[in-house]
Amino acid sequence: MVETESEYGVAHQQILSNSEEISMTRGHALSLADLSRYSTAIRERTWSDEYTLSKYTLVETAYTKYGTWIVSYLIIGFALHAEGGVVSTEDRTGRFAETAYVCEVLARAIGRLYWNIKHLGFVDGFAQRLYQLVEGLELAEYQTEVQRSQTPLLQNHVLDPAPAGCVHSEAECQECERSATGFGTIERGSHIEFIDVPLMLPNGEVLCPSLSFYVKPGMNLLIMGPNGCGKSSTFRLLGELWPLRAGRLVKPEQDQMYYVPQRPYMYDGTLFEQVIYPLKRKDVHVGEAELFGYLEMAGLGYILSRPKVSWDARLSWSGDFLSMGEKQRLAMARLFFHRPRFAILDECSSSVDLDVEEQLYNQCRELGITVITIAHRRSVWKYHSHLLHFDGNGGYAFSALRFEDGGATLVLPRVISASDTALVGTEVVIHVRNDGKESEKAAEDDASNFVLLHA
């Protein structure tokens, strides 16, 4: 019982630690099935324990309710018998009946007191748990309402029905009011497109007031920028993990997108189940030979030659059995198996060799998978045709991408959209230093006049 409860707790902890990856990879059903399995085992064991406890309680009740009476009668009987002929039979019978009645009342009172104390303890425990549950639900509801009431577009701007001394125009304030009381719209389509979408943290902090870009099939997009600029927030909005506060988001169905994180979630199952995650084995019609092909595509075909490794082996996949690079390749094998239209790659090849990395991106191209990548590793950049660049100050630029000077210079030939409308239609040059950091300069026409985006 303790072991099952421990596994149940570990499963919950893994879900909490990898909730974002599970949500983005649509592993809800499989995680729920695992928790249900553990819960069923605990419930059946609890029923068995309760049955044993009920038998004990029955004996305890019989002793408490009737045992004390029987003992009292025996003691009184022996006492009266010892008196012998000192008293008459009539007096002895009367004293016995009187004493027996007093003992019965006393035994019954003691039993009731015992049961009341015991039941009060049960009621107190259940009341405490129920109170904590209600308190937690009320707190969660309050926090949700607070998040929804945050101003979604303009940072440091307090929305008021008639804000005194507001520095924004009436149209801007009306737009703020509409956004604060409502949400943006999500439409289904054959491509991905953000139209005037604000990147906003759940606490109300605005990372980018208005973001517009698109990704069409065959158009690999690279997302760059400093930490905390909104790269991962873009993915969370795309995966519908965070509410869309304003603007319009066009995206395909969820099964046409797949998320591959830097630290992939390793399901507690067999190797077969690892590759097809989050599907169940009974729900797929695929042979081991085909799955082996996906492992080879990811450069992981050798894993079956290891001792104790088979398609039905249950090993410590989330532990030290696989290196981080092997876990990333296994996550890419999942991607090849599902073969979605779009793949969101969040530093997913940071721990693999360069030749394997090239193999992974080439396989994506051959399978017709359009990738949207966050990567600080410069070797990944060349596999992309477009760039979405955040400057870390709420600004961005989106354009086609060209490499010069062996990849040391990133050229945006003609900016498609940007937070600074003056950059739209111009050429932006991003010079990358040897340490991988960037120094950006934008130029119009012949690049004679440079505008510093950020140092």
Supply 377's token pair: 């590793």
Instruction: Give the side-chain half-sphere CA count within 13 A for 26.
Output: 14
Instruction: Give the side-chain half-sphere CA count within 13 A for 330.
Output: 25
CA pair distance 396, 442, nearest whole angstrom: 12
CA pair distance 306, 313, nearest whole angstrom: 11
Which value, to the nearest 10 degrees, does the dihedral of the CA atoms of residues 27, 255, 21, 11 take? 0
SS3 content of the chain, % helix, strand, coil (to 5): 50, 20, 30
For the chain, list the domains and their CATH numbers.
Answer: 2-148 (no CATH), 152-182 (no CATH), 184-394 (3.40.50.300)
Tell me if 175 sits within 8 A of 153, measured CB to CB. yes
Tell me if 76 sits within 8 A of 96, measured CB to CB. yes
Which value, to the nearest 10 degrees, does the dihedral of the CA atoms of residues 341, 342, 345, 349 take? 30
pLDDT of residue 3: 67
Per DSSP, what are the bridge partners of residue 427?
443
b/e burial code for range 220-234 (CB count within 10 A of at least 16 → b): bbbbbbeeebbbbbb
Q: Coil, helix or strand for 417?
A: strand
pLDDT of residue 97: 75
Successive 10-residue mean pLDDT values, the chain, 455 residues: 70 76 76 82 81 79 68 68 65 73 74 79 87 89 67 36 41 42 79 93 86 94 89 89 88 91 87 90 89 94 91 86 92 94 91 92 95 88 92 91 82 92 90 56 34 35
pLDDT of residue 61: 72
pTM: 0.65
Supply 111's token pair: 């039993």
pLDDT of residue 91: 75
H or E segment to which residue 205 belongs: none
Supply 253's token pair: 């169905």
Question: Is 339 exposed, middle or buried, given 0-12, 13-18 or 19+ CB atoms closer than 10 A?
Answer: middle
pLDDT of residue 155: 36
